[in-house]
Amino acid sequence: MSTDNQSLRAFVEQTEKNDPANVLRIREQVSQQLEMTATVFELDRLNKSPVVIFEKVEGFGMPVVTNVAGNRQLLARCLGATVENLPTAFRERCQKYIPSEIVSKPAWDEVVFEGDELDLTKLPIPFQFTVDAAPYITAGQITARDPETGVDTTGFHRLMLKSKNRLGVSLHSRRRMYEYHRRAEARGHSLPAAIVIGTHPLHYMGSMVYAYPPNVRKYDIIGGLFGEPYRLARCGIENLEVPASAEIVIEGEILAGVHEPEGPFGEFTGYASHRSTQNVFVAKRVRMRRDAWYHSVVSGMSRDHILISCITREGEILNALKRNLPNVRAVHVPHKTCGAFLAIVSMKKIAEGEPRMAMLTALGTELYTKQVIVVDEDVDIYDMEDVMWAMATRVRAEKDVLMVPGVKSAIIDPTSDPLTFTVTKMGIDATMPLKEDFAQRLIISPEQRSRARDILAAANVI
């Protein structure tokens, strides 16, 4: 691949060439206020998830590209996989770390704004929901370095527009970035950071990996997803390395000892979230392509916001389960359960107690996952009606429901304790008992279904 093939625009251009139905160009002028979000949610309601390009945003001269991660088919194509084996392909590729490469001429170094010219309000940052406190940069990947080890990381954190050079930041996942800032602050220093806007979906996907050794860079994981070194360039804040093919880079720092109100924000939970770590990012310089695209992730419960986390959690939970339970078949994290809170595990049970092992492993693997349902391999985990049927007919609540109280959870989970941010996690064994004469399931064979479709087609029903 060339550097360009690792870019957002290459992904869009290749999709438009090879699968034009999955790119929607909106040529009518739209407002920065609410309209772009409403349009993507209406597409979701129609069960359509194309990449959307808003070519004319009122008051701005830059197009807005969104919904790039709302489609399993397109994400599978990025990995050379099928939709069915996407989590498995992700699980395998993200463990093949490939060191990155440094290039000297990044795409984002064509235009530079600093001093009085720096004005983040000139970016077409969508105002997404009426409950939001302000427009939010939602596709901004923050890159920073551990002040103790020098290992960097990259990931999504919500960024609230406060002024021309000031953003509110919430590090509420409390993972590496939160710890890097804590370590810098303990030394009395702000944390140098760069916000990168406009990256390939594989960067988006790789940045969502959490279970990896502390000395491994996220960029090496992203390289594994690309199957080649990820090409980076050094920016002007502490020589931090960022993707060379990005559209926009904002250089600055997350302040030490400064906290300001941030939020509410329309989160992936489907609720307005007032909970925040209330950090502050101050921009010192903006670099961008001359013809830059502004990339935005639609917030709330959109597929664009949630689907990547579904796939990465499916892959990471499957990876953890396979270590001790090779008879686990698959894992599904449904979009409609906020892409995080519920995981469904399919297994061929060969011994009692295995479903509980699967529950405990899954609950311990992922911070956000708080409910796990384990089903037999005859249940279609991608069909919630089938899963609910198994729940209704195979669960004996007095022995098949496991409760684990006082477990650390996401602070933006509306059910978490407002002081400790803990929840009671739950596992449900919806598998059949092995040593009982359990009821036999009614089955229609694939051959019978095919014949039925032929009959209906002849009757002009389908």
Summarised one tens digit per residue, pLDDT across range 367-406 is 889 999 999 999 999 999 999 999 999 999 999 999 999 9
Per domain, the residue ranges of the chain are 89-298, 325-430
Each residue's pLDDT tens digit, 151-177: 999 999 999 999 999 999 999 877 899
**Mean local confidence (pLDDT), 268-281:** 90
pLDDT higher than 50, residue 354: yes
DSSP string for residues in 107-168:
TT-SEEEEGGG--GGGS---B--TT-SS-EE-SPEEEEE-TTT--EEEEE--EEE-SSSEEE
428 DSSP β-pair partners: 373, 401
Nearest Cα to Cα of residue 297 among 173, 413, 140? 140
> Do the domains at 89-298 and 325-430 have one common CATH topology?
no
* Residues 6 or more apart in contact with residue 455 via CB below 8 angstroms: none
Interval 181-212: pLDDT, tens: 999 999 999 999 999 999 999 999 999 887 78
Q: What is the mean pLDDT of residues 67-84?
A: 91
- Position 409 scores a pLDDT of 86
Of residues 218, 153, 136, the one with CA closest to residue 191: 153
Mean pLDDT over 357-370 rounds to: 93
> How large a percentage of the chain has pLDDT more than 90?
77
Query: What is the amino acid identity at position 409?
Result: S
At the fourth CATH level, the homologous superfamily of domain 89-298 is Electron Transport, Fmn-binding Protein; Chain A (2.30.110.10)
Residue 4 pLDDT grade (very low, low, confident, very high; cuts 50, 70, 90): confident
Model confidence at 440: pLDDT above 70:
yes
User: CATH number of the domain at 325-430, please?
Assistant: 3.40.1670.10
Check whether the bond before 264 is cis (ω within 30° of 0): yes
pLDDT at 87: 85
> What percent of the chain is modeled with pLDDT above 70?
99
Amino acid 144: pLDDT: 97
The H or E element containing residue 193 is strand 191-197
Which residues, including other chains, have CB under 8 Å from residue 213's CB and lie 6 or more apart? Answer: none
Residue 29, both tokens: 């002028």
Sorting pLDDT into bands at 50, 70 and 90, what band is 2?
very low
Specify the long-range contacts of residues 92-96, CB closer than 8 Å, at least 24 apart: 93/224, 93/225, 93/227, 94/206, 94/209, 94/212, 94/221, 94/224, 94/225, 94/315, 95/224, 95/319, 96/224
pLDDT band at 1 (very low <50, low <70, confident <90, very high): very low
- Average per-residue pLDDT for the chain: 93
Q: What is the pTM of this model?
A: 0.85
Any idea which of 118-132, 298-312, 314-328 has the lowest mean pLDDT? Answer: 298-312
